[in-house]
Structures are given as structure tokens and as C-alpha cells.
Amino acid sequence: MNQPWKTDRWFASPWNYAPEAQKALSFPAEIRIHDVTLRDGEQQTGIVFRRDEKVAIAKKLAEAGVHRIEAGMPAVSAEDEAAIKDIVDLGLPSEIFSFARCMPADVKLAKDCGVKGIITEIPSSDHIIKNAYGKTMDWAIKSSIETTLAAKEAGLYTVFFTIDSTRSDLNRYMDLVERVATEGHMDAVTLADSFGVCTPQGIGMVVKQLKARFKQPIEIHCHEDFGLGVANTIAALSNGASVAHVTVSATGERAGNVPLEDTVMALRVLYGIETGIKTEKFYELSKLVQKLAGFTVPPNRPIVGDSLYNIESGIVAMFHRRCKTVEPLEYIPFLPELAGRPGVDIALGKGNGLANIEEHLERRGRQATPEQTNEILARVKQASIEKKALLTGAEFDAILKAVIGASTPA
């Protein structure tokens, strides 16, 4: 691809590919996406996924090509355990993992569910071990060694997940991982920005140190408390981490986990990194999770928000009318179908210009003089102000009738 920033499906910045920008990037040959919607996503306050709903979401994640699905934590409830078994039994192309505390009993539960791998967690900062768990670092180390060895014996791919990594003393953190790597067992280690408090620069620095010290793959798990989760995830990947933990539409604790859609689309469009994920499934997947979780994302949510391609601004509507058949990417960063979402539409509201009115007149096969068009625009704006919302087609038709009369039957 001679111009990876501009294809027939997206138009990004050529600056992304300048040698000065590219020289700092060290993406691995393969990036894998590990979705945690069914575990960490469900920890968003008020979300409850029933057994059959977890199965339905897992199927859609697999259809989208997600490499690994964290199906839940069997210790949470008998229903969660049953859901994990159901998902395993589907024989999906995605690898199925479960989550566990650093307890051998949790490892046994995971093994009994038939999962391929386990994410086993331990707090890694001295302060959270002491204040939140009432334990010591010695306890954390001993529990981690015991549990990871049990996971190895059970034949599970073992990911050592370090809660609150980014608020740990770095030397103490590295020593914890070292003890588990040498005395216990880990097939991979997860750097967790559990409270979303690190910067891309801090994440990148530590990933480099982990890469230099350990041979095991590095996974990255971030939260969106300061809105930097996607940037932090990409910083980790661009410094050599190879697995990104995500959720559908940023479900998760507090401000949520890193969104699947934003992460994969940014990798694909802004960095030219193909993960194998079918981005065309994103809108459908997001809608399913929203429905089953009982929430809606903001209409301007990146990638999947419903209003992203519903144009109210008069100047952008003008761009649309001039460019839609010539250069449709002149006024949007990617084609709607790349995310499987509805196409561009022109809204009727306070922010309109003449182009909006001309578009809707054209759709109806109606004509108006310049004076009438200006009058229609003025009425649309005033009606939108009074309604404090966009106008419906029926409301626009009423304005047309008042200004230029009823349409003549064919």
C-alpha cells in the first residue's frame, strides 16, 4: 500500500507514517485481542448478563474474529460457571479463558470448565496489598507462586495478572514478577493500569523494561478513568506488548475498560496494523451488548455512536453534497461500512445551512425559490430551538407545506 493513510475506506493523517513518527514504534509481528466484556465489562455497575446472554455475546465476539474471550469467573456463581462451560462447548474459533483469584481452588474451577487458559490476579502494589487486602507482599508472592504452579500442572495457559501495576514501586513490581517467573510459572504477564492513572509515556517505559527482563509475552489491561486507555494500550503495543485487553464499547468498572472498537480501528486506520478483527461487525456487536446490558452509549461515542454520521452542521452538509460522489472521505475519517454502521445522513436542526434544506428538498423531488429556501431554513432553525431537538421528516414536511404548499400528486 503506497499510501496507507489513504485507502478507499479511510483517510487518516500522512504524518502518522513520517519516518520521525515511525522510528519510535516497535509493534510485534502479531497482536492478539483479548476481550473481557463477559467478566470485567459485567463489573460495570448495574450490568447483569444471564447465562444465555453471555453465550450470545461470545458467539458475536467470535464472529468478529476476537482471538481470546475471557468468558467469566467461575467462582462468582454457579450460573457464571455454567455459562463458561456452555461457551467452551460451542467450539468457537476464539480461545476461551477464565479469570481467577490467586487461589488453587479457582484454578480447579477453571480446569473443570474446560477453558484453554486462565488469567490469575494478584495485587502488586504494597499499599493496595496492605490497605485493601490486609495482607503483605510475602502473601502476594506466595499465593502467586502456588496458584501459577497449580495452573501449570492443570495444563492451562497461565497469564499472571498484576492488579494496580502502575501505582506500584517499579523495583518492587519487577521483583514480584521475577519471583513468579522463576519460582512459579507464567506463560505471559499482564501489566494492569487498574485505575487508569498512567500515561502513554509511563506505560511505554515499563513495557520496555519488562521486555528486557522477561522472555514471556506482555499483555496490557487499561481503564479509561482519564480517557487515556486506548492511548496507553497502543503505547504498550507499540513498545512490544502483544495482547490487548478490551471490552465492547468500554463497558467496565467506573469509566470502563479500553473499548474494542476504538483500539482495533485505531490500529488499523492510524497505524496500518491489521489484527484480523472484522471491524464490520462492531456496530452490530455494540448494539447487542447495549441491549443485553440495559444501557446505551452516548450518541457521539467513537466508532459506534448513532449520531456520528448524522450531519446537522450546514458547512459539513455542504461538504457532503459536494463530495459524496467524488471523494466521500473528504469530510469523514472512515466509511461507515468499515464499522458496519448506518451510512451518512443529513439532519434537520438549529445548526443547519442551506445545504441541509437543499438535500431534503431533493429527496422529496421538491423545488423552492432561493427566497423560499431561506424561509424554510429559518423555520427549521426556529422549530429546532423551540423543540430543543432535531426535527422529524413529518415536521419538515409541515414547514414545506406552509412555505411552498403541498406537493402535487404524480
11-40 pLDDT, tens per residue?
A: 999 999 999 999 989 999 999 999 999 999
Examine the domain organization and report whether 189 and 108 are in the same domain.
yes
* Confidence (pLDDT) at 409: 47
Tell me the average pLDDT of the chain: 95
Q: Which of 263, 293, 323 is the last residue of a domain?
A: 293
Examine the domain organization and report whether 234 and 334 are in the same domain.
no
Q: Which of 234, 266, 293 is the last residue of a domain?
A: 293
Examine the domain organization and report whether 267 and 361 are in the same domain.
no
Q: What is the mean pLDDT of residues 64-77?
A: 96
* Confidence (pLDDT) at 408: 54
Q: Is residue 20 part of a domain?
A: no
Give per-residue pLDDT as tens, 201-230: 999 999 999 999 999 999 999 999 999 999
* Confidence (pLDDT) at 406: 79
Examine the domain organization and report whether 369 and 332 are in the same domain.
yes
Q: Is residue 395 part of a domain?
A: yes
Q: Is residue 300 part of a domain?
A: no
Q: Is residue 264 part of a domain?
A: yes
Examine the domain organization and report whether 177 and 322 are in the same domain.
no
> Is 80 exceeded by the pLDDT of residue 394?
yes
Q: Is residue 272 part of a domain?
A: yes
Q: Where in the sequence is the domain holding 167, given as residue range(s)?
A: 26-293
Examine the domain organization and report whether 67 and 186 are in the same domain.
yes
* Confidence (pLDDT) at 51: 97
- Please state whether beta strands 117-123 and 68-70 pair in parallel, antiparallel, or not at all (unpaired): unpaired
Q: Is residue 320 part of a domain?
A: yes
Examine the domain organization and report whether 316 and 272 are in the same domain.
no
Examine the domain organization and report whether 113 and 207 are in the same domain.
yes
All three cell numbers of 170, joined, read: 517499579
Give per-residue pLDDT as tens, 154-192: 999 999 999 999 999 999 999 999 999 999 999 999 999
* Confidence (pLDDT) at 25: 96
Reference 258, options 219, 292, 296, 288; nearest CA is 219
Q: Looking at residue 188, which CATH number applies to its domain? A: 3.20.20.70
Examine the domain organization and report whether 175 and 232 are in the same domain.
yes
Give per-residue pLDDT as tens, 226-269: 999 999 999 999 999 999 999 999 999 999 999 999 999 999 99
Examine the domain organization and report whether 153 and 194 are in the same domain.
yes
> Is 80 exceeded by the pLDDT of residue 407?
no
Residue, of 3 and 2, whose pLDDT is higher: 3
196 — pLDDT class (breaks 50, 70, 90): very high
Q: Which of 293, 318, 352 is the last residue of a domain?
A: 293
Examine the domain organization and report whether 114 and 261 are in the same domain.
yes
Q: What is the mean pLDDT of residues 108-123?
A: 95
> Is 80 exceeded by the pLDDT of residue 139?
yes
1 — pLDDT class (breaks 50, 70, 90): very low
Examine the domain organization and report whether 150 and 112 are in the same domain.
yes
Q: Is residue 85 part of a domain?
A: yes
Q: Is residue 410 part of a domain?
A: no
If one counts the domains in the chain, the total is: 2
